[in-house]
Amino acid sequence: MRKNFMKKVVAGMLTAVMAFSLTACGGGDASTNDTAKEEGSSDVITVGFSQVGAESDWRTANSESMKSTFTKDNGYELIFDDAQQKQENQISAIRNFIQQDVDYIVLAPVTETGWDAVLGEAKQAGIPVIIVDRMVDVKDDSLYTAWVGSNFELEGKKAAAYLDAYMKAKNMKDMKLVNIQGTIGASAQIGRTKGLDDAVAANGWNLLEQQTGEFTQAKGQEVMESMLKQYDNINVVYCENDNEAFGAIDAIKAAGYEVGADKDMMVFSFDSTKEGLKKVQSGEITLNTECNPLHGPRVEAIIKQLENKETPEKKAYVDEEMFAHDDTVKSVTVDGKEYPVTVVTDEVMGARKY
């Protein structure tokens, strides 16, 4: 039984005893009983959520998904903490959650490493930890109860396989590629960069430079501006999320180049937010590999399993699609599995809610 639930039951029982004594003394009234009923039935589950920050449109959609799932009406009290992309803020938030004796800690970690000590403290306090979105790299995997998120390496491999197939279909021989990476050390960066690096090594592509754009539009723009000053004839820009791609596109246009597959530079992106898909439809982004942010209901399903004394899957990957401007490449095969590529139409746009 949940610790806080036990506390609430005890509080409810004490209130009921007090109400009974007052009634027996002739001093009771209906409102006292209502209070006792409310206390006894307010089986609220307290969730402390440490969010990375608000660096991207994807993150905003992710925060919204958590906030709209863990509502009072659904029986939760959500303590939401925005860490502003800093691990030290996430560590203090977790320590605060432990002090507040929450029922569950949910962590969307900024980077993979550096969690052993604080998750050890949560374990010591008997609070289950659910990891969401990016992964943690800990020595002892009993430090967290379950993880749900994206297969970031698969995302990178799918994007690289598309680039390879696209180059071959268009008979493009000369590649001058730059990579605007995500936050260094975040699973989303590690996996997407690895997918590209492996393809660069396997195909002998010309990768001019890799630099972090920290998953933000401002940094994506700044990095692209500096790359444009440094290199001539860049023709492929592999951005690791939509906001970096938006910034890079602004920089490319400001420098007087045209963006698009049959123009000066092709831009690749990840996330497939509504704004990201709009740019796929217009042709400014050639391929957008989806990363699904709607984790609120998934985390809630894990909590419900735990409440019912069931064992959730230790690691669960979400299914994700690929969206392209045209049907030059209809599908890609990665590790023996075929993944279809969807062309962005008005119907696809209409279905995208975030």
The yes or no reply on residue 49 touching ligand AHR (CB under 6 A) is: no
Q: How far is the CB of 188 from ligand AHR (least distance, A)?
A: 4
Does residue 134 interact with ligand AHR by CB under 6 A? yes
Among residues 146, 123, 125, which one has the least CA distance to residue 4? 125
| Binding status of residue 58 toward ligand AHR by CB under 6 A | yes
CB of 262 to ligand AHR, least distance (A): 27
Segment near ligand AHR (CB under 6 A); pick from 34-42, 52-60, 98-106, 320-328: 52-60
- CA dihedral (177, 183, 187, 190) in degrees, to 10, reads 30
Is 272 a binder of ligand AHR (CB under 6 A)? no
Q: Does residue 97 bind ligand AHR (CB under 6 A)?
A: no
| Rounded distance between C-alpha atoms, residue 267 and residue 286, angstroms | 6
Nearer to ligand AHR, 12 or 149 (CB): 149
User: Which three-class secondary structure state does DSSP give residue 137?
Assistant: coil
Question: Which position among 49, 55, 245, 344 is part of the footprint of ligand AHR (CB under 6 A)?
Answer: 55
Q: What angle do CA 273, 276, 278 make, to 5 degrees?
A: 110
Q: How many CB atoms lie within 10 A of CB 91?
A: 18
Contact assessment for residue 354 and residue 273, using Cβ atoms and an 8 Å cutoff: yes
Regarding 295 and contact with ligand AHR (CB under 6 A), the answer is no
**Unique residue bearing structure tokens 């539009």:** 217
Confirm or reject binding of residue 329 to ligand AHR (CB under 6 A). Answer: no
DSSP tally for the chain: helices H, then strands E: 12, 15
Restricting to residues 152-211, name those near ligand AHR by CB under 6 A: 188
The residue from 144, 268, 270, 323 that contacts ligand AHR (CB under 6 A) is: 270
Burial of 96 (C-beta count, 10 Å sphere; 0-12/13-18/19+): middle
Residues 6 or more apart whose Cβ sits within 8 Å of residue 350: none
Q: Which of 51, 102, 109, 133 binds ligand AHR (CB under 6 A)?
A: 133
Residues near ligand AHR (CB under 6 A) are: 55-56, 58-59, 133-134, 188, 215, 241, 270-271, 291
